[in-house]
Amino acid sequence: MTQKTIAFFPEGAYGPALNSVGIAQAVEALGHKAVFLSDPGFVGVYEGYGFETHPVNLSEPMPPEQMAKYWEDFINGHIPNFRKSPYDQIDNYVKECWAAIVDTAKWAQKDLPGVLAKVKPDLICVDNVILFPAIKQFGKPWVRIISCSENEIEDPQIPPHLSGLSQDDHEGHAKFRARFNEVIRPIHDDFNAFLAENGEAPYPVGEFFEASPFMNLLLYPEPVKFRRAHPLDPKRFQYLEGCVRTEKPYEVPVFAANNDKPLIYVSFGSLGSGDVDLLKRIIATLGTLPYRALVNVGDYKDQYTDLPPNVIVESWFPQPSVIPQVDAVIHHGGNNSFTECLFFGKPAIIMSYVWDGHDNATRVQETGHGFKMPRYDWTDEELAAKLAACITDPAMKAKLAATSAHMRAQNGPAKAAHVLDSLLATGRYDG
């Protein structure tokens, strides 16, 4: 087999980044070369896994630690908005996010043509929510990876992306779409002007990206996918059933109490850990319950003192090595946490705060794999009852076992590598 070069360009967030790492590991196992195009703040992540990495500025150049602080501050500044419904976040968090995302596309266009000319990839995989014209125009096949909820690919019968609405709430779907399009229109007009400057046709209002004509890889698991009016063509759309990466082993530490009790894992992701007051409240509740708990507190570990004896906090956990050992997970609905819980057959309580976490929270409850809980408006008794149900409910256990078996049989990274290998060999995927 002739070695080909596959370039991966994930957005600057740990979820997409680590999903692409899993796929890149699998394509290298087939004998191809994987390289990363990266937000400067994530170069070290990919190099840490041994990949050649090329920085692409997605904003005004600044030191990586300053960039990380920018997004941390952006999220923390919106904590008051996390109490709002997805609909009421359109005017603040969602609008500001899309304005920032459009700016990343403009910045990327300055660097991408030169970086692509240097790397000379045979295939490009982009995991983002916005079009980068240089990738579409490079002259090689390009693949869109959809690491968030599958409703990034719209359909009239499914909830709009970011809405957190149920499958059958069609009146709510229409209301959310109308408001989203109204609020986002000035930003969208600006984006269409950028597309025109770069020789691309305008997108309809509300759309910032398109499906690739070559292949689109959805990390969403089939057991939780939506009922579409227009089923996706498998020659252009493949469900990967998650892309769980390999991490170093994790040994559960000895706790000062409750060592014979069920184990809970709590994580709101790398950015959500700034919601210190909420995590402290969850820890206080868990301290009264017959469990052990591992809690990811990000960069705020020094703010946690006088912990209950059944709780251990750390700044980071090798999550794919932790989740298989726990009995239930409390998380924010990020795609990695969502798919890893399903992959390992673990029930989840999702307290979402932004983006597709809202969609995943609704979907985990709608499909019987866990519970959606409000992020702030809950009582100790309600959290205790949901945890007890996660650990003891036989129907949920059976559902999770079946989903886990299905996902493990698929082997998402290997499936993705097979699809990409086929595209490199023939220019298409025929199954």
Residue 12 — pLDDT band, cuts 50, 70, 90? confident
List Cα–Cα distances, 89 to 86, 93, 183, 374, in angstroms. Answer: 5, 5, 11, 15
Rounded Cα gap, residues 134 and 49, in angstroms: 26
Share of residues in the chain with pLDDT > 90 (%):
80
- Split at pLDDT 50, 70, 90, the class of 247 is confident
Other CB atoms closer than 10 Å to residue 264's CB: what's the count?
24
Taken in order 178, 365, 380, 341, is the CA torsion positive or negative? negative
Q: Is the pLDDT of residue 1 over 70?
A: no
User: What value does the mean pLDDT of the chain take?
Assistant: 93
Domain with CATH 3.40.50.2000 in the chain: 5-241+411-426, 263-408
Give the pLDDT confidence of 109-147 residue by residue, as tens digits. 999 999 999 999 999 999 999 999 999 999 999 999 998
Give the pLDDT band (50/70/90) at residue 81: confident
The radius of gyration of the chain's CA atoms, rounded to the nearest angstrom, is 21
Query: Which tokens is 411 given?
Result: 């082997």
What's the CA gap between 350 and 30, in Å, rounded?
Answer: 36
Confidence tier at 250 by pLDDT (50, 70, 90):
very high
| pLDDT tens by residue, 216-233 | 999 989 899 999 999 999
30-78 pLDDT per residue, tens: 999 999 999 888 899 999 999 999 999 988 887 767 766 776 777 778 8
pLDDT for 241 = 83
Closest listed residue to residue 344, CA positions, set 363, 319, 362, 361: 319
- Which CATH class, in words, describes the domain spanning 263-408? alpha beta
Q: What is the mean pLDDT of residues 186-203?
A: 98
**64 or 88: which carries more pLDDT confidence?**
88
Per residue in 27-37, pLDDT (tens digit) is: 999 999 999 99
Contact at 8 Å (CB) between 219 and 410?
Answer: no
Report the topology of domain 5-241+411-426. Answer: Rossmann fold (3.40.50)
